[in-house]
Amino acid sequence: MTDLPLLEPGQPVLLMVDQQAGLAFGVGSADRQLLLSNAVALAKTAKVFNIPTIVSTSASKVYSGPLLPPIKNVIPDVPVIERRNMNAWEDDAVRSEIAKTGRRKLLVSGLLTEACVTFPVLSALSEGYEVFVVGDTCGGLTLDSHNLALRRLEAAGATMTSWIQVLLELQRDWTRKETYDGARAIVEAHAGGYGIGLAYARDMIHPV
């Protein structure tokens, strides 16, 4: 079988940057509650598929607040790395934790798209990482500035994706029993009509 250019669970590391209330207040590019739901779904996906997760915050004591509790509740054992600069890649602790995983495919989620997502993505690309920006878990000040930032990152070589595409790409085959229950539960909880359909099929449709 020819190798496909699709993510496998053993390949990526997830970087979540500044998923904090103080920054979420400034998001105008998407519904904030949906954005939070998407970020929670991504964190759950990383947990189900044993993807190493690096979490970093900034100005948590003076403005931005701690990691958003719904995300923290999913990954309570993941340490949160506090930074001073906007570019997480310029923080030695963040970069070191990513390097320790030995993985060269980087999933990135964060706030705000224009800075704290854009800067580490560009830096990681310059060091040869393959970067996937999980666009529907990132929020910008305006829809225009969010989209312009994503366009810049795509032009620089990053791949745009969504949390549901990441999950389905990693699962790929619903006969992968070790992750089936976890992946299905995430879809049912966070994927809108698709999740409703899966729940309906489970509860109402029975083989003849």
pLDDT (tens place) for every residue of the chain, 208 residues total = 445 689 999 999 999 999 999 999 999 999 999 999 999 999 999 999 999 999 999 999 999 999 999 999 999 999 999 999 999 999 999 999 999 999 999 999 999 999 999 999 999 999 999 999 999 999 999 999 999 999 999 999 999 999 999 999 999 998 999 999 999 999 999 998 888 888 887 777 765 4
- Look up 138 and say whether it is catalytic: no
Any domain includes 187:
no
In tens, the pLDDT along 96-140 reads 999 999 999 999 999 999 999 999 999 999 999 999 999 999 999
Structural domain boundaries, residue 141: 12-163
Q: How far is 56 from 149, CA to CA, in rounded Å?
A: 20
Count of domains observed in the chain: 1
For residue 193, tell me if it sits in a domain. Answer: no
Residue 180 is assigned to a structural domain of this protein:
no
Which of 108, 150, 152 shows the shortest CA–CA distance to 129?
Answer: 108
Residue 138 resides in a domain: yes
On whether residue 38 sits in a domain, the answer given is yes
Q: How far apart are CA 67 and CA 62, in angstroms?
A: 13
Q: Which pLDDT tens digit goes with each residue over 184-194?
A: 999 999 998 88
pLDDT at residue 195, rounded to an integer: 84
3-state secondary structure 26-77: CCCCCCHHHHHHHHHHHHHHHHHCCCCEEEEEECCCCCCCCECHHHHHHCCC
Write down the catalytic residue from 17, 51, 116, 131.
Answer: 116
Please report, for the domain that includes residue 132, its CATH number: 3.40.50.850
Residue 37 lies in a domain: yes
Q: What is the pLDDT of residue 200?
A: 82
Is residue 158 a part of any domain in this protein? yes
Instruction: Tell me, yes or no, whether 192 lies in a domain.
Output: no
Quick count: other Cβ atoms within 10 Å of Cβ 83?
20
